[in-house]
Amino acid sequence: MKSFLLIFFLIYPLSTTIFAGTPGEVEIGSYLRPTAMNGLNSRSKLLSDFKGKPLIINVWASWCGPCRSEIGSLERLAQRYNGKEFNLIGVSTDDYRSKALDFIKQTEISFENFLDRKLLLENMLGANRIPLTIFVDANGRILQKVRGAREWDNPKTIEAIGKLFHVKLTPQKDKI
């Protein structure tokens, strides 16, 4: 009995950390709630304003190294497809608006970004680790969540995004 209790008390905290979502998290297959978003490099909007076209949401913070490493590829993806085949937005979890704005200026991000100081979006999206990228269909249903940094504009990733959204995306050919 003692060994059972010892194992339980050693494993239980790990299991809740590994498998725990965030409070109010919307799971894959469920629909996002209409939520107000505080604009950083654009006007404030409702999340539901993006319905009607597939949506990629990238959750990031200015202090996050992996977020910094993937932002260039997200910008290139946005330059090519944003507002056409799908929309791409960013959600900063920074505590300070000025830090998020400085990051946007430094990296020259052109796609719309929003600040989530109250953790409403972070919790709803399940961003207990960042970066987190969420793929949402045109009706607001979560299709996929990808944790960790990626090279979002490589041809295989672009092909996978096209299949997920059921749209034809042609990767940019390398210049010779």
CATH assignment of the domain containing 125: 3.40.30.10
Q: Is 4 a member of any domain?
A: no
Whether the pLDDT of residue 76 is over 90: the answer is yes
> What's the sign of the alpha-carbon dihedral 27, 60, 69, 88?
positive
Quickly state the pLDDT bin for 12 (edges 50, 70, 90). very low
DSSP assignment letter at 86: B
Average pLDDT, the chain: 88
Taking the C-alpha atoms of residue 123 and residue 140, their distance in angstroms, rounded to an integer, is 17
Find out whether the peptide bond into 13 is cis, omega within 30 degrees of 0.
no
* pTM, to two decimals: 0.85
CA dihedral 59, 61, 66, 67 (to 10 degrees): 50
Q: Tell me which amino acid residue 156 is.
A: K
Please report whether residue 155 resides in a domain.
yes
Structure tokens at 152: 């979002």
Structural domain count, the chain? 1
Asked if 58 contacts 122 with a C-beta cutoff of 8 angstroms, the reply is: no
Write out the residue range of the structural domain in which residue 52 sits.
24-165
Q: Is residue 41 part of a domain?
A: yes
Q: Let me know if residue 7 belongs to a domain.
A: no
> Does the pLDDT value for residue 26 go beyond 80?
yes
Asked if the structure places residue 51 within a domain, the reply is yes
Asked, for residue 40, whether it belongs to a domain, the answer is yes
Q: What is the pLDDT of residues 81-126, one digit of tens each?
A: 999 999 999 999 999 999 999 999 999 999 999 999 788 899 999 9
- Beta strand 87-92 with 55-60 is parallel
